[in-house]
Amino acid sequence: MTNLFDPLTIRSITIRNRIGVSPMCQYCYEDGFSNDWQLVHLGARAAGGAGLIIAEATAVEARGRITPHDAGIWKDDHIPPLRKVTRFIKEQGAVPGIQIAHAGRKANTHRPWDGSSPITMDDPQFWQVVGASPIAFADGYQTPQELTAEEIHAIAIAFRHGAERALQAGFEFLEIHAAHGYLLHSFLSPHSNHRSDQYGGSFANRIRFLLEVIGEVRKVWQDHLPLAVRISATDWVENGWTITESVELARLFIPAGVDVVDCSSGGNLPKAPVPVGPGYQVPFSEAIRSTGVMTAAVGLITAPAQADQIIRNQQADIALLGREMLRNPSWALHAAHALRQAPPVPPQYLRGF
């Protein structure tokens, strides 16, 4: 029976255990450039024993940033500081991953500690946001400019260029962000997509943009490297994107070259009633995994036995932790002790474990 500390091989990459650091925006970058904070933040969790370290939502174009302080990968100059990060993570025996993203209609807001509110037109940090349809995310948010088919294609190419740069920066695991109400999710959901062209209406049309992005990315993301997509498995509202559609989509992912579906939920409607609780998104991972694709489970996974159970019960192939990793960067080392497994302790820390 597979447990949390068994290695996982996807294509030619072997991850030393099933513990991953979920992508988490740090909002502390200038012009998208990685910096010492990112190196130390991700590096500490690699030294802390996690097998997979996924760098946060990293914008494929500048207007696709959630805040002006997001990480970016829209120009070649972004590559060298990211190389430092991937090199250190690999030196610690972990696999460096990155999430490439476009925030769509939820872009151009202040960072959380500056209030998270949308940036107003009179602010020098304002830019026009874009989306599937001219429907604002919530009161006070910008009404996005509806993308034309040509502009949609240009963004798919921007994802491809982002993937190419991620490769050059040394990442070995790539995740396309199609969750949480950001651009790609906003095309999937009938709530945010009211288009009448080939990108709106039917299921086949709403998923078209995401499949085009996957196709562009797979042209450059090498065959021996794993590709993941994070989706919101449900919008949690009537007439929204559903788990049934997520399962349908997952069936199409495998032939498209996607190896892992990272199963999150919500984020596209501000007032959706989300029943948050321990492991509340795990059933989505289990349902999607039944299609044969590998999955990552995420969402209030905090205890070692809980994460181990998810893997043992074959509800997911990877357990991703977000906030618990912020509280405890060495979570994986502690979990190994709790589960009586050999902890991957760096020699510098041996006397502490």
Ligand X SMILES: Cc1cc2nc3c(=O)[nH]c(=O)nc-3n(C[C@H](O)[C@H](O)[C@H](O)COP(=O)(O)O)c2cc1C
What residues make contact with ligand X under the rule CB under 6 A?
Answer: 22-25, 56-57, 99, 177, 179-180, 230, 264, 298-301, 321-324
Counting Cα atoms < 13 Å in the Cβ hemisphere of 95 gives 26
Rounded to an integer, what distance in angstroms lies between the CA atom of residue 303 and that of residue 305?
A: 6
- Any bridge partners for residue 151, and if so which? none
Residue 182 designated active-site: yes
Are β-strands 13-15 and 8-10 bridged in parallel, bridged antiparallel, or unpaired? antiparallel
Query: Based on CB atoms, which residue is closest to ligand X, 85 or 345?
Result: 85
Query: Based on CB atoms, which residue is closest to ligand X, 275 or 352?
Result: 275
Buried b (16+ CB within 10 A) or exposed e, 273-303: ebeeeebebbebbbbbbebebbbbbbbbbbe
Three-state DSSP class for residue 46? helix
Q: Nearest approach, Cβ of 212 to ligand X (angstroms)?
A: 20
Rounded to an integer, what distance in angstroms lies between the CA atom of residue 268 and that of residue 263?
A: 15
Q: How far is CA 41 from the centre of its chain?
A: 17
Rounded to an integer, what distance in angstroms lies between the CA atom of residue 336 and that of residue 343?
A: 5
Q: Nearest approach, Cβ of 148 to ligand X (angstroms)?
A: 27
Please say whether the dihedral angle defined by the alpha carbons of residues 267, 273, 274 and 276, taken in this order, is positive or negative: positive
Question: 44, 86 in Cβ contact below 8 A?
Answer: no
Q: Active-site residue among 182, 199, 280, 349? A: 182
Which residue has its beta carbon closest to ligand X?
322
Q: Nearest approach, Cβ of 45 to ligand X (angstroms)?
A: 13
Structure-token pair, residue 67: 């805040």
Query: Based on CB atoms, which residue is closest to ligand X, 163 or 301?
Result: 301
CA end-to-end span of the chain: 27
Whole-Å CA distances, 245 to 163, 189, 193, 221, 229 = 26, 10, 15, 26, 15
Q: Nearest approach, Cβ of 164 to ligand X (angstroms)?
A: 21
Query: Based on CB atoms, which residue is closest to ligand X, 250 or 345?
Result: 250
Catalytic residue numbers read 182
